[in-house]
Structure formats: C-alpha cells, structure tokens
C-alpha cells in the first residue's frame, strides 16, 4: 500500500514537472517570434522591454524590463501571488504622488482621459456608482472640498454669473439689431410700395393725357 502511495506521488510529481516543462516550451516557441534585442539597444531605441532568448533564473524565456532587467513572467507570477499587497502599494504610491503635486496629476489625468474617451466614460460610470453606493462619504467629501476650495468656488460662481450676464446682454443686443433690421426692412418695403404706386399713378396720368390729346385732334379734324 505504501509502495503504491509512493509510486502515485512520484507519478504526480513527474506529471507536474512535465507540465511545467511543456509550458516553458510553449512560452519559448511563442517568444521565438520576438526579435532578439539587447538591453542597451532597446534603451537606445526607446523601448520598455528587451528579449535575449535566454531563460531567467526561474527558467522563463520571456521579455525583460529595460528598467531593472526584471523578467516579465516573474513579475506576473509575483503580482498574482501578492495581488492585494501590490494593489495597496500602488494605491499608496498614487496617494503620495497626488499629495506631492496635485496639479500635475490632474493635468496628466485630463490629458489621458481626453486621449482615451472610452476610459473617460468608464471612469464617470464608476464614479456615479460609487456616489450612489456611498452617499454619506460623498456628502462628506463635498463638504471638505468646499471648505478647502471656498475662494475658488466663489470665484467660479462669480465668473459664471458674469459670463451669464454677458450672454444675456449679447442676446438682447442681437434682438435689438434684429428688430432694427426688421424696422428698416419694413420701411424700405413701404418706400418701394410707395414708389410703385407713384409710378403707376404717373403712368395712368400720362395715358389719360395722351388719350385726351388724341380726342382733341380728332374733334378738330371733324370741324374742318
């Protein structure tokens, strides 16, 4: 019974080794399509990764990072094994970076979201969901933000009201110009109508004079 158990353990150990070897072989075959390039050449070409075709100390035949020469597969395995720690470290780094230079971070975020509109929509949707799920935190955040940026908020409100009044003035001026234009158009139309009426009257008077002249000539001829 013990021999069978030992044999079964050896079998499964050999199976795992074969599976790892086949996986590494698959990775090696897949990486053959990648150009062989050294670290210095990759740095000179502005690349973030390079590939030597040689296995790392853990047997991965994969690309390496130019900054630190770390194996990409090793980093992926390490991240998968310590996912929560990696995420917390990333969040802490982001918090420190934002606290050190918030304006630079905001400018970077604006440029990134402007260049990736689909990502911007996803960020907005996630923000809406978070606000809906955390109304108390949302109110607290807004209160703190207003207290910390009170003068900016007031200045933004003054600018908004100033722009709104300017837009209304421009709208009223446009309406006055339109009304003046309508009056001028009506006056010009009335003048043209008066001119046409005067022309018709003059033409009618001229025709009547011509008719009267012809009548007088015919009567004089009859008398002779």
pLDDT at 181: 78
Structure tokens at 172: 């009223």
Neighbours of 64 (CB within 10 A): 22
What is the pLDDT, as a whole number, of residue 222?
46
Q: Answer yes or no: is 16 within a domain.
A: yes
Answer yes or no: is 223 within a domain: no
Is 192 within the bounds of a domain? Answer: no
Q: How far apart are CA 85 and CA 91, in angstroms?
A: 10
Q: What integer pLDDT is reported at residue 161 of this predicted model? A: 92
Residue 18 lies in a domain: yes
Residue 163 belongs to some domain of the structure? no
pLDDT at position 143, please? 92
Give the H or E element holding residue 75.
Answer: helix 72-81
129 and 140 in a single domain? The answer is yes
Alpha carbon of residue 160 to chain centroid = 23
* Token representation of residue 25: 């072989």
Same domain? 55 vs 100? no
Out of 60, 94, 115, pick the residue that ends a domain. Answer: 115
Residues 95 and 141 in one domain: no
Both 20 and 54 in one domain: the answer is yes
**How does strand 49-50 pair with strand 64-65?**
antiparallel
Task: With respect to residue 196, please indicate whether it lies within any of the assigned structural domains.
Answer: no
Which residues does the chain have with pLDDT short of 50? 1-8, 11-12, 19-20, 25-29, 31-33, 222
Six token digits for residue 108: 């970077």
Quote the number of domains for the chain. 3
**Domain check: are 46 and 96 in the same one?**
no
Last residue of a domain, one of 92, 125, 149: 149
Q: What is the pLDDT of residue 144?
A: 92
Sequential DSSP letters for 152-189: HHHHHHHHHHHHHHHHHHHHHHHHHHHHHHHHHHHHHH
For residues 87 and 139, membership in a common domain is answered with no
In three state form, how does the secondary structure of 16-68 look?
Answer: HHHHHHHHHHHHHHHHCCCCCECHHHHHHCCCCEEECCCCCCCCCCCCEECCC
For 140-149, give one letter per residue: b (16+ CB within 10 A) or e.
Answer: eeeeeeeeee
Please report the pLDDT score of residue 6 as a whole number: 37
Q: Answer yes or no: do 8 and 57 share one domain.
A: yes
49 domain residue, yes or no: yes
pLDDT at residue 1, rounded to an integer: 38
Q: Is residue 56 part of a domain?
A: yes
Query: In which domain, by residue range, is 111 found?
Result: 82-115
Nearest to 70 by CA among 56, 59, 82, 83: 56
For residues 2 and 47, membership in a common domain is answered with yes
Whether residues 5 and 37 fall in one domain: yes
In a shared domain, residues 86 and 98? yes
Q: Does residue 42 sit in the same domain as residue 58? A: yes
Q: Is 69 helix (H, G, I), strand (E, B) or coil?
A: coil
Same domain for 42 and 10? yes
CA distance 180 to 71: 77
């Amino acid at each position: 019974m013990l021999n069978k158990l030992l044999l079964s353990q050896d079998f499964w150990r050999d199976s795992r080794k074969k599976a790892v070897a086949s996986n590494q072989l698959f990775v090696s075959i897949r990486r053959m399509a990648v150009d062989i390039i050294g670290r210095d050449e990759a740095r000179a070409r502005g690349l973030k990764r390079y590939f030597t075709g040689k296995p790392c100390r853990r047997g991965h035949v994969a690309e390496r990072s130019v900054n630190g020469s770390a194996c990409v597969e090793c980093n992926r395995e390490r991240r998968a094994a310590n996912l929560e720690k990696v995420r917390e470290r990333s969040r802490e780094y982001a918090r420190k970076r934002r606290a050190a230079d918030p304006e630079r971070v905001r400018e970077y975020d604006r440029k990134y979201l402007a260049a990736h509109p689909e990502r911007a929509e996803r960020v907005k949707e996630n923000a809406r969901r978070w606000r809906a799920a955390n109304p108390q935190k949302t109110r607290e955040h807004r209160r703190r933000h207003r207290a910390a940026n009170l003068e900016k908020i007031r200045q933004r409100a003054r600018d908004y009201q100033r722009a709104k009044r300017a837009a209304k003035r421009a709208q009223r001026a446009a309406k006055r110009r339109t009304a003046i234009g309508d009056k001028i158009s009506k006056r010009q139309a009335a003048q043209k109508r008066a001119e046409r009426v005067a022309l018709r009257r003059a033409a009618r008077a001229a025709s009547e004079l011509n008719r009267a002249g012809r009548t007088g000539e015919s009567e004089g001829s009859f008398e002779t």
